Amino acid sequence: MAAPGPVRYAVGIDLGTSGCKVVALDAGGRLLAAAEARYPMAVPRPGWAEQDPASWWRAAGRGVRKLQAGLPPGATPIGVGVTGQMHSLVATDARRRVIRPAILWCDQRSEPQARRITELVGAPALSEITLNPSRAAFTAAKLLWLREHEPDAYGRLRHAMLPKDWLVARLTGRIVTEPSDASGTGLFDVPASSWSEPILGRLDIDPAILAEPQRSASVVGYVLPEAGAAFGLPAGIPVIAGGGDQATAAYAAGATGPGVLACSLGTSATVLASQPAPVPGCLSHVIAAQWLYLTSTHAGTLCLDWWSRVVAGPRRARPAEVLRAAAASEPGARGVGFVPLLMGERDPAPRRPPQTGSFYGLRAEHTGADLARAVIEGIAFEVRRIARSVPTPGPAPDTALGPPRRWRVLGGGTRAPLLVQTLADVLQEPLHLMPDASSAAGAARLALAGLGVGVPAAGEGGSGFQPDRGVDYDAAFGAYCARISGSDDIGR
């Protein structure tokens, strides 16, 4: 009997907000190893969020090398798939040198520019072309801010790239993008899958600064010798275009057909659902002829990290301590509520001040455990609130959440059982965990698909969380919605 050959694997690299995650999947789609390298986010002014792309490159290199240390001897990489935080602006000059720190997706400085885009283009045209309203999170508003506030930097700008596309350029020398990430810029014609000439014209943005769109699963280049040396990869292996982190996460979780909702519990919290047609609220999916409905809140597990820093003081912050404290309270946090909008809203309502994070209902008898519990419940309430907008096929029954759907949960938040159980109780839906599903895993699966290596479809996941039918969060959720919107409508 012949001995089995060496393991062949695809590398998936995810440039996240808090760090770079790297995975290796074998040709059958099985997770072989994973690694992570973190980097900081700078907040130079209130509402701003920036990162140095050089930190992404260093972290990606460390992550890939750490990954390889955990692989079987003789394992051979056959390709690289990439993904990363969406919307963030990487501005480079003609020599592809980074001009200034990247302006991240959660940065709110360009809210005035987002409103001006609506005035210049028109809400109906945006709804028809980009399928989304103009947002401060989107790259278009960041470009206008750069032109208005840093004209010298804008004058040197020759390439406006998204994080994963910047990484591809460093790996291969080619500047390309693909529809799922491009559709989150506010400059892309989502139904036509091309840059929008009318929008670019109205905003006076030169299309030459934008990357050429390719299919998400297409080979767009090959690892350069200097990049291979930095990452410990052989030069010449193919690099796949990849996808935006939310699209690759949905792909990894199997949100590729009707009736499946994927909730990505990471720094942000996102609800994802595949759509067969480009309806309002969609971005492009990494799968041809499918679109991805995406709704999110900027602060998911970021809230746990923040509260752990608050209570830790000079000690090292440990989110696990927040979770242990929260377990000592009870469902409902004894009346304390928390609004988790620490980085503002994705879609600020017109004619009212921007929302911020806050506690409410505080009384003298409340404890730190109650506040910790309120933070966790606030995240779950916001996920339920944003999930109400997901299009539902067929007539919806008269319930707060619509017809039953299959929920799949992935992301770093799945390592916090109390958070996941609270989410199940708030939604009153079973939640299936996808322990090996991640944006990085989706990028690796996409690489395998692009290389013609078949991988099985994502299943329901290993373990699940059943809702506690004895816990009724409806009243508390109604109070939460009233706090946000000024009404007691809870979506019935």
Catalytic residue positions, numbered: 245
Q: Are 450 and 219 in contact (CB under 8 A)?
A: yes
Q: How many Å apart are CA 168 and CA 441, to the nearest integer?
A: 17
DSSP 389-447: TS--SSPPPSSSS-S--EEEEESGGGG-HHHHHHHHHHHTS-EEE-TT--HHHHHHHHH
Q: How many Å apart are CA 15 and CA 22, to the nearest integer?
A: 9
Helix (H) or strand (E) holding 386: helix 368-387
Structural tokens at position 457: 């479809």
Coil, helix or strand at residue 459: coil
Length of the chain: 492
Q: Are 86 and 246 in contact (CB under 8 A)?
A: yes
Helix (H) or strand (E) holding 461: none
Helix (H) or strand (E) holding 126: helix 123-129
DSSP 132-197: S---TTSHHHHHHHHHHH-HHHHHH--EEE-HHHHHHHHHHS--EE-HHHHTTTT-EETTTTEE-H
Helix (H) or strand (E) holding 286: none
Q: Are 22 and 64 in contact (CB under 8 A)?
A: yes
Q: Are 218 and 241 in contact (CB under 8 A)?
A: yes
Which string of b and e fits 283-296 if b means at least 16 CB within 10 Å? Answer: bbbbbeebbbbbbb
Q: Are 33 and 10 in contact (CB under 8 A)?
A: no
Among the listed residues 490, 324, 351, the one whose alpha carbon sits nearest the alpha carbon of residue 417: 324
Strands 238-244 and 76-84, by their bridges, are parallel
DSSP 64-113: HHHHHHTSPTT-EEEEEEEEE-SS-BEEE-TT--B-SPEEPTT--TTHHH
Q: How many Å apart are CA 285 and CA 247, to the nearest integer?
A: 6
